Chains A and B, each alone.
Chain A
Amino acid sequence: GAGVSQSPSNKVTEKGKDVELRCDPISGHTALYWYRQSLGQGLEFLIYFQGNSAPDKSGLPSDRFSAERTGGSVSTLTIQRTQQEDSAVYLCASSSQEAFFGQGTRLTVV
């Protein structure tokens, strides 16, 4: 596609359930980022993938969070046993020379 695509755009889940968020980067972009943004706040770095290198997972807030990137393209962010404090917008970006963001997934844990 022409831009970074994220799905779903909105997700409401019950506390304790697992969720998967998907990111389709721009074709050919080797770098992919996941960020979390609480309402009106800045970007909280979660994880960074670059080509075939080991991902930079230094921003993942707990072991309930994990992400993978299959075939150097699509990425999935998984949150296990969701908690209310996980409610936020999850943004994905991909980059080559410039970085572009998706529209985000708004996650609400009830």
Chain B
Amino acid sequence: GQQLNQSPQSMFIQEGEDVSMNCTSSSIFNTWLWYKQDPGEGPVLLIALYKAGELTSNGRLTAQFGITRKDSFLNISASIPSDVGIYFCAGQDAGTYKYIFGTGTRLKVLA
């Protein structure tokens, strides 16, 4: 199936550290979305980005829509234990309008 390249695949960090993850694609996207999935739950939408260069924050989370429209990053500042989970990106293909989802970044925060 179609997937975005998301990195890193997993990471362990100390509480209080900043975290960065990104997604890249060979296709141009109209929209980028970032999700968090807690164990036993479905992914929950965190941030939506609608145009190239857009930088959007949601609390300690900041995401940007790359100017090439082929990438996006998510930063989490001052991580806390409840940030643990799997983070997914998704991009809406500009040609087909289909959403393609990333492979996920598994984040573990060490107290």
Contact = CB atoms under 8 A, between A and B. Distances in A.
B31 A59 contact: no
A102 B3 contact: no
A99 B33 contact: yes
Interface of A: 4, 31, 33, 35, 40-46, 48, 50, 56, 58-59, 91, 93, 95, 97-104
Overall SS of chain A's interface:
strand
A4 B102 CA distance: 20
A94 to B, nearest CB: 10
A103 B45 contact: no
Interface stretch (B12-20, B54-62, B76-84, B93-101): B93-101
Contacts of B90: 99
B29 to A, nearest CB: 12
B98 A35 contact: no
Interface string B36-79: 00000111110010000000000000000000000000000000
Contact of B3 (A4, A45, A104): A45
A91 B42 contact: yes
Contacts of B24: none
A33 B45 contact: no
Contacts of A100: 45
Contacts of A43: 3, 88, 101, 103-104
15 contacts: A4-B42, A35-B101, A40-B106, A43-B3, A43-B104, A44-B1, A45-B2, A46-B1, A50-B97, A50-B98, A91-B42, A97-B48, A98-B31, A100-B45, A102-B42
